[in-house]
């Protein structure tokens, strides 16, 4: 169980999910940057929204951090690279507010078309101005959707119901998928030239920062109206204000700004601009979903389980076929590290059976996590395992064979003279070791194990058993596998506790025993 530092308002349901898992939920709102650095000390998880900035200094102070959770989509306020360097998982709630964000875009679209906020302000100020705030219909107009992801697709779906023609720019969407959605794909300049309204649904990164600037606006269809509920900075606010003043762009509806929070923008004084203080996710439903989702992700991360919404893990697409084998792959990595008594130069991983065609990237990460967990001085996670492998010069080779041999599914790890293989068996899909150093064995992995290589002759099991008995260590299970030549055998024993080093040394010194390894899984 760990301490979870929550620095911004989170739905009570989310707080309860973490507390019910046994974690200490420490809610500290309104922290300054210096106070955050102090508060994060000793925390295993940090949960934020958009107002808290997680810098490299915060991450350095949080030496026990396992995960940073953002209760929302954007991660502009988290130094993801620094978190990855430290092995800290960064997770978000990418599906929590997509419906609310899409509805906010539609609200701004309608507000732009019908001048509703302006007419409201005039009327409550005592002015009846019907002709001044004449609007336009959405029906028959062309809506350009920049970014046809989750939110963009929902906006497109809703705009179709208004009878709008849809065009979109998204280099990652196929023409077939777009046609299925009733959308025509165009390049960005053509979209701007044909659209009466444009709605933006892109992530903020170095490619999209300032994307809608003076040059692109100059190519826009006269009278264009722009909606942005994605991220501030994608639209150049100065350039947009200039285009609106010139009359080339009719107006804009903005929910996001380059600097937030803000009460100043060149767009604020323009009567044809409708603005909101980043309310895209500000619905009761979205906040509840974001709180619960991020709480569930934090619980998974603190348990050491796979986290589906981790943004800095190399493999996040995990099938139901692969998921049960993650723990086994990690155990095999630990066992191989113990057999090698250190870090090998190469790691060969072979997947056989149904696993081979199901996406095994997360299993490779799991094996690396187990391998380095035994030899690394820094905490190892799914996040930094590939980086640690690169830093140590470990060459990882993966092979896959969809045709099963002795087992329906099999994972084999091999390095130098050592190898270990395992599978899941039985109605409960329990892990079993089935090969070690090319000796056939059948034994479930256990927290404490001993691997003994000995001459294949009578009495060797009794020698090992006597030594363990003298050390007051009980054998829980045992498997013996002879070599193919019959000269040597391998004993794999599970014990009820850690075997004292003195007992291991007695085994190593016993006649007929050539190698002894203590294994932890």
Task: Parse the chain into domains and list their residue ranges.
Answer: 3-95+285-303, 98-275, 323-520
Angle formed at CA 70 by CA 74 and CA 234, multiple of 5 degrees: 10
Q: What is the pLDDT of residue 427?
A: 86
CA R_g for the chain: 30
Which of 137-141, 236-240, 282-286 has the least mean pLDDT? 282-286
Q: Is 231 a catalytic residue?
A: yes
Of 157, 253, 236, 243, the residue nearest 198 (C-alpha) = 253
Which of 279-283, 337-341, 458-462 has the least mean pLDDT? 337-341
pLDDT more than 90, % of the chain:
74
In whole numbers, what is the pLDDT of the chain averaged over residues?
92
pLDDT digits over 206-220, tens only?
899 999 999 999 999
Q: What number does CATH give the domain 323-520?
A: 3.30.1330.90
Token readout for 28 is 């500290």
Residue 379's pLDDT band (cuts 50, 70, 90): low
Between the alpha carbon of residue 42 and those of residues 36, 398, 491, 512, the distances in Å are 12, 38, 43, 50
pLDDT at 449 over 90: yes
CA distance 45 to 309: 15
- Please state whether the predicted TM-score (pTM) of the whole model is above 0.75: no
Among residues 70, 225, 278, 432, the one annotated as catalytic is 278
Residue 426 DSSP code: T
Mean pLDDT of 504-509: 94
Q: Is 278 a catalytic residue?
A: yes
pLDDT at 249 over 80: yes
Contacts of residue 18, Cβ cutoff 8 Å, sequence gap at least 6: 4, 25, 295, 298, 299
Residue 191's pLDDT band (cuts 50, 70, 90): very high
pLDDT at 315 over 70: no
Among residues 86, 225, 231, 418, the one annotated as catalytic is 231
pLDDT at 157 over 80: yes
Q: What is the pLDDT of residue 380?
A: 78
Q: What is the pLDDT of residue 3?
A: 97
Same fold, 3-95+285-303 and 98-275: yes
Q: What is the pLDDT of residue 94?
A: 84
pLDDT at 439 over 70: yes
pLDDT digits over 12-43, tens only?
999 999 999 999 999 999 999 999 999 999 99
125 vs 438: which has the higher pLDDT = 125
113 vs 281: which has the higher pLDDT = 113
Residue 316's pLDDT band (cuts 50, 70, 90): low
pLDDT at 494 over 90: yes
175 vs 169: which has the higher pLDDT = 169
218 vs 321: which has the higher pLDDT = 218
CATH superfamily of this structure's domain 3-95+285-303:
NAD(P)-binding Rossmann-like Domain (3.40.50.720)
Which DSSP string do the residues of 231-274 spell out, in sequence order? -TTSB-HHHHHHHHHHTSEEEEEES--SSSS-S--TTTT-TTEE
pLDDT at 486 over 80: no
pLDDT at 378 over 70: no
Selected from 3.30.300.20, 3.40.50.720, 3.40.50.10470, 3.40.50.2000, the CATH number assigned to the domain covering 98-275 reads 3.40.50.720
Among residues 194, 260, 398, 442, the one annotated as catalytic is 260
Q: Is 432 a catalytic residue?
A: no
CA distance 138 to 145: 14
Q: What is the pLDDT of residue 76?
A: 84
CA distance 518 to 515: 10
């Amino acid at each position: 169980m760990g301490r979870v530092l929550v620095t911004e308002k989170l739905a009570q349901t989310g707080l309860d999910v973490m507390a019910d898992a046994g974690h200490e939920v420490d809610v500290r709102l309104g922290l300054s940057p210096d106070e955050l650095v102090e508060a994060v000390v000793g925390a295993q998880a940090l949960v934020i929204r958009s107002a808290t900035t997680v810098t490299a200094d915060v991450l350095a102070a949080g030496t026990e951090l396992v995960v940073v959770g953002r209760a929302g989509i954007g991660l502009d306020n988290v130094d993801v690279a620094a978190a990855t360097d430290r092995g800290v998982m960064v997770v978000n709630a990418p599906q929590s507010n997509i419906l609310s964000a899409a509805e906010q875009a539609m609200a701004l679209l309608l507000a732009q078309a019908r001048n509703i906020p302006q007419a409201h302000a005039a009327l409550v100020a005592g002015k009846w101005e019907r002709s001044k705030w004449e609007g336009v219909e959405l029906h028959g107009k062309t809506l350009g959707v920049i970014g046809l992801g989750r939110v963009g697709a929902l906006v497109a779906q809703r705009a179709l119901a208004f009878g709008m023609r849809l065009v979109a720019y998204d280099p990652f969407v196929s023409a077939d998928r777009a046609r299925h959605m009733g959308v025509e794909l165009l390049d960005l300049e053509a979209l701007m030239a044909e659209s009466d309204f444009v709605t933006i649904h892109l992530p903020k990164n170095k490619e999209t920062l300032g994307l809608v600037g003076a040059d692109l606006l100059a190519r826009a269809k006269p009278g264009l109206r722009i909606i942005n509920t994605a991220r501030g900075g994608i639209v150049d606010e100065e350039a947009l204000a200039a285009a609106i003043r010139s009359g080339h762009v009719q107006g804009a509806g903005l929910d996001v700004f380059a600097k937030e929070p803000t009460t100043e923008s060149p767009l604020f004084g323009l009567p044809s601009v409708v603005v909101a203080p980043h309310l895209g996710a500000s619905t009761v439903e979205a906040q509840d979903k974001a709180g619960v989702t991020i709480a569930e992700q934090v619980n998974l991360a603190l348990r050491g389980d796979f986290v589906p919404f981790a943004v800095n893990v190399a493999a996040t697409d995990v099938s139901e076929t692969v998921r049960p084998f993650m723990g086994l792959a990690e155990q095999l990595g630990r066992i191989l590290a113990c057999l090698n008594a250190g870090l090998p130069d190469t790691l060969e991983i072979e997947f056989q059976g149904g696993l081979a065609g199901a996406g095994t990237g997360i299993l490779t990460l799991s094996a690396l996590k187990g391998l380095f967990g035994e030899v690394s001085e820094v905490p190892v996670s799914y996040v930094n395992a590939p980086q640690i492998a690169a830093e140590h010069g470990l060459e990882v080779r993966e092979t896959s064979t969809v045709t099963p041999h002795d087992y329906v599914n099999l994972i084999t790890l091999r390095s130098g003279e050592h190898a270990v293989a395992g599978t899941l068996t039985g109605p409960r899909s329990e892990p079993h070791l089935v090969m070690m150093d090319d000796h056939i064995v059948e034994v479930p992995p256990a927290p404490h194990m001993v691997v003994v290589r000995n001459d294949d002759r009578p009495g060797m099991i009794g020698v090992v058993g006597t030594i363990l008995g003298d050390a007051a260590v009980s054998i829980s299970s045992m498997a013996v596998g002879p070599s193919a030549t019959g000269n040597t055998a391998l004993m794999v024993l599970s014990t009820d506790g850690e075997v004292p080093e003195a007992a291991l040394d007695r085994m190593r010194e016993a006649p007929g025993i050539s190698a002894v390894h203590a294994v932890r899984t």
